[in-house]
Amino acid sequence: MALSCDAIIFDLDGVLIDSDAVIRRRWERWANERGIPFEEVEAVYSGRPALEVIEEVAPHLDPEAELDRLGDEMATDVEGLEAFDGATALLNRLPAERWAIATSGRHRTATARMAHVDLPAPKVLVTADDVDQGKPNPEPYQRAANRLGLAPERCVVLEDAPAGVEAADRAGASVIGVATGHPPDALAAAAAVIPEVEALRVQAEDEGLRVDWRRDARG
């Protein structure tokens, strides 16, 4: 099985960058300091904007103030942060106008992490600061496609979180799940599930991209 598209839109954390340890560490510390059971936070933070998570699990707190503090910590904590194997090479092979990143993280966090692991900067970067509604709402992927000058239906999205898979699907894009933080069954709504971005094979053609994946990946 292969997919043809005009561009690929990548989620950042869990797809291009292995930041799970940082994200978990920061959310756990935040929850503990505010007397909120971490299990409640852990159940909802994956793939979603931090502001929406805070509003859901701590409606008694000032969400903007909490977001500013948490955002500072997320942007400056780089211990254990690294790019997934094959991520940098893949992005460097793609024509600049054929890919974008749409992340639930804030702009300063996303750019700090990309710089730390030496990922190339995309021409189109959509963050939580750019949208009114985050994933699973389709807006992040709709906005990224629009900034590329494309319809979402002509894009393939790589996502590691169920909320992101739902967002891309609702936007009308084809979705490939990346099972770095969730079991493949949790990403079953995707057209295919691969173990990591290194399994992806992309070939530039005259009229777009052909996206394929290793045969040991789940289709």
Active site residues per annotation: 11, 13
- Residue whose tokens read 């971005």: 197
Q: How many residues does the chain have?
A: 219
What does each C-alpha distance from 219 to 62, 175, 213 come to in angstroms? 43, 12, 9
Helix/strand number for the chain, H first, E second: 8, 11
Both tokens of 136, joined, read 């699973």
Contact 23, 75 (CB under 8 A): no
Q: Which helix (H) or strand (E) holds 115?
A: helix 107-117
**DSSP class of residue 21?**
H
202 in helix, strand or coil? strand
